[in-house]
Structure formats: structure tokens, C-alpha cells
Amino acid sequence: MNKRIVFTGVGVMASNGKGKEEFWAALQEGRTGIKPISLFDTSEFSVNMAGEVEDFDPTKYFGPKGLRSLDRSTKLLVSASKLAIADSGFTITSENTDDVGVSVGTTLGSLKSIVDFDEVTLKEGPRYTNPAHFPNTVINSPASQVSIWSNIQGFNTTISTGFTASMDAMSYGYDAIQTGRAKLVYAGGVEELCYPTYYGFYVSKFLSGANGGGGFINCPFDRRRNGIAFGEGAALIAMEELEQAKERGARILGEVLGFGYYFDTFRINKYNPRGTGIMESVRGALDDAGVGPEDIDYICSNANSTKMADKIETAAIKEVFGKRAYRIPVSSIKSMIGECYSVSGAFAVAASLGAIHEGVVPPTVNLKERDPDCDLDYVAGKAQKVSPEKILVINFGPNGSHCCMVLGRYHE
């Protein structure tokens, strides 16, 4: 029999909120984190908007010492870990540290460090590089620093699967608890806003406003949509074996019910217009959770304001849920924080736990002109008072990866 695994803590560093309370409040209010970029010069681009974590001071979360050699990704993730650990109320000791794991999804989290290190190497020569900066060029460095800063001696894993990396990392953590490798896992992801990443999305014409058609606008499901707003941040969520959580009197925020996966080999950097991966991963998650389409009360969608993705996701939801699709609230938090790449799935789970806890479904903001191909209840403009029992989180990207989760309100 599978173990019951619950959520007992949330740590979030997002462009519209630091900490779960601020993040949840921003989502309920429809407050966006999309703003002009301040981290680097954007004068060469036709667009300068992104979901930047502004006024970020890591010393508030883990003190002033030892920060000089850490990059932004690591500072964001370690800050989120400190919030998650505190929120879970779990005290890590020498007796239980081996039972705690860290599972992080990131794909571009080390890109700026790699570029900066290589630039010095090429211009000045390898002898003039700062060896203290070399560890940041390794993609598992942020996750490793989480364990180092909190003395977590259980497994430490980094997963790099692009758009679904943080959701895949949560699935990995779930499996680790099921198989007895850990009793509690801090799982999630991180991505950093930096010049190399922004440039890459810009030249690939994935960003809104980069195509020269209509300028910048972040509006999932809206007929005016023309690309993403890139976002950054970090989120770690405590996933814990139920018996341990009850034994220590932990506050339970929700329960993991099931995962579904599918890798669509259609084409790299192209969404499959048939939506095969979305439908198969959603059906897999429902089957794994032992629930049917009639049991889902809210869908936290993947919609990121690209023409194809939002249309395909809508069609896939209608295919799986039939007529009931029109009665389920479906919203996109990316309308407020942007497409956060590897950490998007963890942000969606954090938002879904907020919907359960607060009894409020976050809205899709900037939805003003209806697309006839996107005709579901997208909670346009204003949050809805709903008390969801079971939530479906959809997570996918044009790289072929699809990962969905069903989570629910905890009941004895």
C-alpha cells in the first residue's frame, strides 16, 4: 500500500511576493510581478519586461556571512529553503538529518555563472579566474548549497528537464519517500533572470514583443497574446510522510494524490498541435490519484501567453473533461509572474496550496479580449471564492516534457 504524503511547508521567492503569505495575497489580488528589468541593460532589446524578484536581500533569510561567492540562483534558492524549513516547523538535527532530502529542478540556473567564468577565462586566461566562482558553474550547486546551509545530509538531487523540472523534482521527492529513502523532502526549483537567458529567449522570438507584432503584453488565453514574459524565482515545498507529520504535530497544507508524465517526441521547440502529451499526462495523473474528471474542482493551468500553447491546452482540457470542462475554474498564475521555466511547476503547486488554504482561486489577469479557441472559465480579472477539494496542476513545454499533479485537501 502506498504511503500517504502531505505538504507541510512552503517557501517562495517570486516576483510578486516573498514568502507564502505575500505570494498568496498577491495572487488573490491579481497583483503582477511583471515590470521593467533592473538587473541588466536592456537597451538593445525591443522589450524590457520580466518577472524580476525586486529588492531581494538574501541577508534577511540566511545572514550576511558567506554570500560573496554565491550567485543569484543559489541565493534565491537558499532563501526559499530557509522559508520552507521554517514554515514546515521541522527541526533538522543530527538524529534526523539523514531522513531529509533535497530535490531541485533547474535548467538555466547556472548559465550566468558559466558565462561570467568563461568570459574571464577567454579574455584574461584561466590563471586569472577566481576559483571561488567555479562551483557556481555546476548546475547542482544551488541544491547543494541548500543542504550545506541547513546541514541536510540525506539525498541531494538536481533535475534538469526544462519547463517541467521542478514538477519532476517533486515527483522524484515523492518517490523517495514512497521507497523509504527519506521521510521529508524539500522539493521545487529555481531559475534566475540574467542577460544570457533573456537574450536566448529574445532571439528565439519566444518573448512577447520580440516578434515585432503588437508589442509586449502578457495575457494568457487572450486573443492578443504573442509570447511569454520571462520570470525568475525559487520555490521549495516540504513533502512529508503523513505518519511523521502527524506524530510531530505538523500543520498539513494538503496532500499529494498522483502524478502523470508523458514525453512527446513531436519536435524540439514546437508544441504538438494535437496536445497528445497534455492529454496523456493529465489522464495519467488522474489515474494515479484514483480520481475521475468529475472530481477536479480547479485546474492550475500551464498557459503562458503563447498562441499555440494556450489553444492546445484548452483543447486538451475539453477532450479529457468533456462538457464538465466548462464548469471547472481554470486559471494561469503566469499572467502575474510570467513563464518561470524550470520553477513554474513548483510555483503552481504553491499557488494551489494557497487556493486550498484560503478558499480562493487565483485569477487570470489581463484577459480582456476573448479568443474563440479559448472558451473556458479562466477566472478572468478577479479571484473566485472556491473551496477546492482536488486540484489538477498542468505543466509542460515545447521541449516535449509533460508532468501533471493532482493534489487535494487533507482529510483523516
77 phi and psi, to 5 degrees?
-70, -45
23 phi and psi, to 5 degrees?
-65, -50
The string of DSSP codes covering 220-269 is TTBTT--SB-BB-EEEEEEEEEHHHHHHTTPPP-EEEEEEEEEE--S-TT
Question: Per residue of the chain (412 residues), what is the pLDDT tens digit?
Answer: 589 999 999 999 999 999 999 999 999 999 999 999 999 999 999 999 999 999 999 999 999 998 989 999 999 999 999 999 999 999 999 999 999 999 999 999 999 999 999 889 889 998 888 888 899 999 999 999 999 999 999 999 999 999 999 999 999 999 999 999 999 999 999 999 999 999 999 999 999 999 766 789 999 999 999 999 999 999 999 999 999 999 999 999 999 999 999 999 999 889 999 999 999 999 999 999 999 999 999 999 999 999 999 999 999 999 999 999 999 999 999 999 999 999 999 999 999 999 999 999 999 999 999 999 999 999 999 999 999 999 999 999 999 999 999 999 999 9
Strand stretches in 326-368, DSSP E: 330-331, 360-361
pLDDT of residue 385: 97
pLDDT of residue 342: 98
Strand stretches in 298-377, DSSP E: 298-300, 330-331, 360-361
Work out the burial of residue 114: count CB atoms within 10 Å of its CB; fewer than 13 is exposed, 13-18 middle, 19 or more buried: middle
Does residue 331 sit in helix, strand or coil?
strand
Does residue 207 sit in helix, strand or coil?
strand
Return the residue matching grid coordinates 474528471: 293
CA distance 360 to 387: 7
pLDDT of residue 268: 87
Domains of the chain, start order: 5-247 (3.40.47.10), 258-408 (3.40.47.10)
399 phi and psi, to 5 degrees?
-85, 0
Retrieve residue 170's grid coordinates: 517533486
For residue 298, give Cα distances in angstroms to 44, 248, 265, 280, 375.
41, 31, 29, 18, 16
pLDDT of residue 213: 63
Pick from 62, 97, 100, 94: nearest CA to 78: 62
Note the residue count of the chain. 412
Exposed e or buried b for every residue in 186-219, given b needs 16+ CB within 10 A?
bbbbbbbbbbebbeebbeeebbbbbeeeeebbbb
pLDDT of residue 106: 98
